[in-house]
Structure 1
Amino acid sequence: MKITEAEFIISAVRPEQYPEDALPEFALAGRSNVGKSSLINRMIQRKNLARTSSQPGKTQQLNYYRVNQKLYFVDFPGYGYAKVSKVQREQFGQMIETFLGDREPLKMVLLIIDIRHAPSKDDCLMYKWLRHYNIPLTIVTTKADKIPKSQWQKHIKMIKETLEADPHDRVVLFSSETGLGRDELWEVLLSQMEETTENTVASE
């Protein structure tokens, strides 16, 4: 997809702060430092629009990025960082659960997992949440450039088994460094937008 325009819109913590233009939304969920911001930057071909940080737990709101006036990336707070207080973790959980349970423009969640490591308990909980709410999801395994290509399928198998994932779940191998998976992930997002538009039209 050719990117002609990409901009940061708002850091939201409450539903009344969410954009009201009803553009399709694709949320990114994953543990702290898994590479969500780097993935957004690679997808929109901007170096620093999504703020990357060496300090895990930096993102504490839902960060909205609008692309080509057609869709939003919504960057969730990273979970599982020890230095974030228990109260903050509970607030994150409530904020995300509110969003997942009641956000009509949400088309899909990208569950971002570092291919080098088994999913954490929080990853598994997020996966179960998404299944509970019947939200379409795609598993995106980041940092694929950090392990040999010959190991990719073995690691993907380990990730799906740990998540107890549905065999039909799509997995996209991704590297923000090399651009691996960028075109494939755009195909996933655009086809999901087309599918939901067709379903809406059919139901009217």
Structure 2
Amino acid sequence: MIKKFVNYMTRKFIDTGIIERDDDEVFAYGLEIITSASINTIFALIIGTVMGRFIESIIFLVSFCIIRQFCGGYHADSNRKCIISFNSIFAISIILGSIIDIEKFSLFFIILTVMNTVSIFVLAPVCHINNPLSNEEYKSNKFKSRLISMFICIVIIIGVQLNLDKYIIYSCLALTWVNLLMIILKISNIIRGKKYEKSSS
């Protein structure tokens, strides 16, 4: 559905002279990303509103999105899978944030946040083995991922001290998911690399 919409809009923009035909692939790729992200955000906000967690949804989405783009990690291979997987992650996070007694586990979430931050410092950015970043992109993303993860880590620790546990847990969960997606792709890259070495030997 998204592909059809993107292709239709791309043709329209070419026919009206807004973009050149030579730029159709770049435009289509950008529009596809924007459309997919918009659908994910809309669905997430609907889920959060229905569950009575609108503010918490905003906190999760902001925390997740601002660091995810620089850390990399596993991505679904189709828009449908992307929408399903992201909104599943989001729904699980909202449910966990709603049922966990945050005050009893505040120390655990601080430790978890620090562990995730350290992992991001070491691993990020993680991109697909067949789609590596340029040297400049890698350095830029590493710096930004470290800076943002440190900022989120500090906000979470301060939030615990200010008894804002019911809100900061969503930032912690967002950081945890970003870290897990990085680790999943990292392991996948290692497996692919070993398979390639075996097949080429």
Task: Give the TM-score category using the shorter length.
Answer: under 0.3
Q: Which has the higher contact order (CA 8 A, sep 6+)?
A: 2
Greater helix proportion: 2
Greater strand proportion: 1
Tell me the TM-score normalized by structure 2: 0.24
Tell me the TM-score normalized by structure 1: 0.23
Larger radius of gyration: 2
